[in-house]
């Protein structure tokens, strides 16, 4: 599995689709799953820029994994987002359920994300919610990168300020190294 992480608006979905189109990897987007299957209460949380609780996210990803042929490479976009979610995923790795080939961390400035998301036009892309997502990302998600490194999993930091083609080239180079 290839994990793509980064704040909302860093380009995870764009890059997940490119990996799917160019290499035939399946793409599992937690954002897409949540927009399709979230309860009204969870949709309201998402509109405020809040993360869903760990138990609920783990349950969703576990269901997805149960329905997949895990011998085939796939891209996991947007999970894990917390240390608790990562600990669960690392247990899956330790139990040989899945393996992590690479972790791609898309690094992008708050200014760039704000510009991208305000132009994207989704209902949950409101300025206050976007700013809240950055606060959540710094507080909750960034610590998982250190946790991954401590678990001897290589994290590749990719400059996501570039155009999508150059970002994709950097990602492919990182995956080839792993």
Q: CA–CA separation, 114 vs 7, rounded Å? A: 11
Q: CA–CA separation, 41 vs 62, rounded Å? A: 21
Any idea what the CATH number is for the domain that residue 128 is in? 3.40.50.300
Predicted structure pTM score: 0.90
Tell me the residue range of the domain where 7 lies.
2-177
Q: CA–CA separation, 123 vs 138, rounded Å? A: 23
**Number of domains, the chain:** 1
* 134-159 pLDDT tens trace: 998 899 889 999 999 999 999 999 99
Nearest to 31 by CA among 83, 79, 69: 79
* 2-42 pLDDT tens trace: 999 999 899 999 999 999 999 999 999 998 888 787 788 88
């Amino acid at each position: 599995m290839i994990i793509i992480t980064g704040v909302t608006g860093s380009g995870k979905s764009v890059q997940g689709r490119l990996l799917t189109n160019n290499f035939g990897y399946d793409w599992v987007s937690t954002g897409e799953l949540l927009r399709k299957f979230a309860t009204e209460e969870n949709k309201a949380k998402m509109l405020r820029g809040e993360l869903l609780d760990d138990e609920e996210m783990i349950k969703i990803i576990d269901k997805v994994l149960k329905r997949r042929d895990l011998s085939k490479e796939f891209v996991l976009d947007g999970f894990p987002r917390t240390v608790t979610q990562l600990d669960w995923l690392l247990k899956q790795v330790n139990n040989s359920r899945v393996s992590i080939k690479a972790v791609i961390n898309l690094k992008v400035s708050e200014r760039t994300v704000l510009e991208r998301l305000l132009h994207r036009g989704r209902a949950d892309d409101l300025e206050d919610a976007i700013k809240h997502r950055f606060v959540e990302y710094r507080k909750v998600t960034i610590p998982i990168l250190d946790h991954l490194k401590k678990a001897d999993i290589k994290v590749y930091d990719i400059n996501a300020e570039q155009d999508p083609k150059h970002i994709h080239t950097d990602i492919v180079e990182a995956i080839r190294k792993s």
